[in-house]
Each structure stands twice: as C-alpha cells, then as structure tokens.
Amino acid sequence: MNTVSRTGTVLVCLSAYPRDLVESWVERAGRVEVVLADGAPLAQLLPDLERADIVVGDAARRYPLDAAVLARMRCCRLLVHPAVGLDGVVDLAAAAAAGIRVVNAPGYNAEAVADWTLLAMLTTLRDGVGADRDLRSDGWHARPLGRELGAMTVGIVGFGAIGRAVHRRLRGFGTRVLCSDPRPLTGSDAEGATQVDLDDLLADSDLVTLHAPLTDATRHLLDAARLAGMREGSVLVNAARGELVDEVALVDALRAGRPAAAALDVYATEPLPPSSPLLDLDNVFLTPHIAAGTEQARQRVRTLVRDVIRAELDAT
C-alpha cells in the first residue's frame, strides 16, 4: 500500500493508476491525502477506506465493495467507478443506504467495444484466425469460402450506447439489423434497425451480438434452449458479460454446431481457467477481456474520473 500523509480530504484509489496521475486530479484542491491500493489485500485497505471521503473503484474488479465494506466507509461521500458495469463490484443498494453517491462511466468504451465487435464478426465470418494458423503450419492452400457481413442479418441484444455504436458501423456494410431491447427504439442511431423479441431475433439472425447489462433478469439469458433456437450456421459474439450466456450449455452447443461459431471477450470466470473447454474448440475466437482496451477509451474514462472528482472537491 502506497500512502502519502496529508491533512484534509482523503482519496483512496483502488484502480491501478500511477500516483502522478491521481495527484494531478486533486492538485488544485489543496490538502488531499492520496492512498493507492497498489495491489494490497482488501483487509489491509479497510482502515483507509473507513476514513476516505472519495473512493475510486477498481476497474479490474479486484476489490468488490459489498454491503459489509460500504457500511464501514462512514466518511465516504463519493464513489467513482471507472467502468460501465457495476455488477459484482458495488452493492448499489448498500451504497445508497450509506449515503454514498456512486458515479460510473457509461458510454466511455462504446466505440472501442463496437470496433472489437466488428473485428470479431469479420474474423469469424472469414476464419481469419484459422487462415493465419494454417498458413504458418501447412503452407499456402485453398480454404473454405467465407461469408460477407453485408449479406448477413445481425441481431443486437441490448441497444444502449454500445449496441447503437455497433449498429452505426453495420450501416456501412448494408447489413440487415434486428434488435432486442426492453425499451422502444428511438433516435437517429436506431434508423434501419427492426425491433423484435429475443427468440425471434435468435431464430432469424446469422450473427447475434450481446450488449446487455448483467442483472438477475439477464443472467444466463442465453441458456441451452435459446442456444438451440439459433439459426443454423449462426455466430454468437459476446463482449458484454460472460454470465449472459450459460457457458456450459454454450460449449455443448458449439460442439453440436449450433451456433456454428462464437467470438468471446468475456467469460463466466476471469481470467479464463486453463482447464476451460472453450480453449479446445477450433470454432471459437477468444480474447482476454480487451474489447474496451484502446488508448482513446482509457483517456476518456480517466478524464471522466478527473472531472467528477474535481467537481466534488470544488463543491466542498
């Protein structure tokens, strides 16, 4: 644990941000004590969390702030979480009960994740990984024909900031787009998308991409029955939350060929265990939760965190 002792406001940063960056956020506010987690166990950080006025959450999800921890954060008035999803990281009901204002970073990663989603679709449709692997090992030879994205029907599950960013990109390919979302489609970003229920979307889509939040209602949204209802030859793309899909059922479905392939950036357990059967499947494109990992997205979220902290300090 890395602490600089000062008097006045206490800021605890649980994300792995460098000290000079965090201190630059508060330098104009005068006396602010900055505490960096530096990978210390949560139990070791509790004394500092108990006296913290402002807490920056952990984007890597190493420090879950449950009801028991939040109840001890009696001095905290602001919790800034530098990511979109709060599931499994912050108990929102407990934070509200403790009088802690929680701010996350919605939309900061929309463009980055949408880019990855298109990468995953194109890589899977053209078997880019397999072509590279075969060329390196077996030399130059003919391969099965790929499919064009513009000839596909894409189903977007969840039409928030990321789903809309995916749709904007698909317009350039001339792709037919279906959408499933509990809210009615509105705005120019929805132009050209047809809203349908989830089961119809699964049955009618060549590619299904998930961009819904993880809640009690969406956990295992795609179970064995719904996976079996996907179109023959279809592809599943998931860069949202691993637990939106029943991973055991997905492995069985991929082995059975429906869906025919998947592209995954998120998993039920992260890091993905070396024993995961997903690693043994040739019809899966896997990346280690990097969809939001661009220089531009990192700068956007850091700027958001800085601005929220400065506004809080300026108001006190």
Annotation says 270 is catalytic: yes
- Residue 276: CB partners within 8 Å, gap ≥ 6? 267, 269
* 27 belongs to the catalytic site: no
What DSSP element (H or E) covers 199? helix 198-204
Which is catalytic among the residues 168, 219, 289, 298? Answer: 289
Which residue has 């989603």 as its token pair?
117
Q: How far is CA 241 from CA 52, 175, 250, 259, in A?
A: 30, 25, 14, 18
Whether 181 contacts 158, CB under 8 Å: yes
Q: Which of 27, 148, 191, 270 is catalytic?
A: 270
The values of phi and psi at residue 288, to 5°, are: -90, 65
Q: Among 164, 226, 241, 302, which one carries the catalytic annotation?
A: 241
Task: Please give the distance of CA 233 from its chain centroid, rounded to a whole number.
Answer: 26
Residue with tokens 């037919």: 176
Residue 289 annotated in active site: yes
From residue 131, give the alpha-carbon distance in Å to each of 10, 25, 63, 198, 264: 54, 47, 40, 33, 19
* Residues that are catalytic: 241, 270, 289
